[in-house]
Amino acid sequence: MPAAYDSNNPFAKILRGEFPSHKVYENEHVLAFLDIMPRSPGHTLVIPKAPARNILDITADDYAHVARAAHKIAAAAMTAFNADGITVQQFNEPAGGQVVFHLHMHVMPRKDGVALLPPASRKEEVKVLEDNATKLIAALG
């Protein structure tokens, strides 16, 4: 049985406005913002507003909202970052690679022949994140 949801996780704090983020999309069900340690330019995280630790405790409807938003972000990221492809990842529990325990989908624009950076390998400059957020917001139009 997975552990209980912790309302003090970093993404819950972003949802409450206690931690800053570079928001690119929001509706009543989800929030999408840039990863501050991106594995590719434009790496975006899509999270539910519902308090869900991961796929094991989110409702199917709330998960569907996250998937729809990730779909929308992926299409916009192809344009915004002149990408050749998109990688979408979602990890569950420590054994599954999850590090932050609020469900999230990674949407990563990709270029042919360019490897993803290792996870959490470097914090991006704020100006780069601001510029990438502007590009993605414009593509979401």
Residues with a known catalytic role: 104
Q: Are 46 and 70 in contact (CB under 8 A)?
A: yes
| φ and ψ of 31, to 5 deg | -135, 135
Run of H or E including 31:
strand 30-34
- Two tokens at 39? 């594995």
- Residue 47 half-sphere exposure toward CB, CA atoms < 13 A: 26
CA–CA separation, 70 and 67 (whole Å): 5
Return the amino acid letter for 35. Answer: D
DSSP structural state of residue 11: H
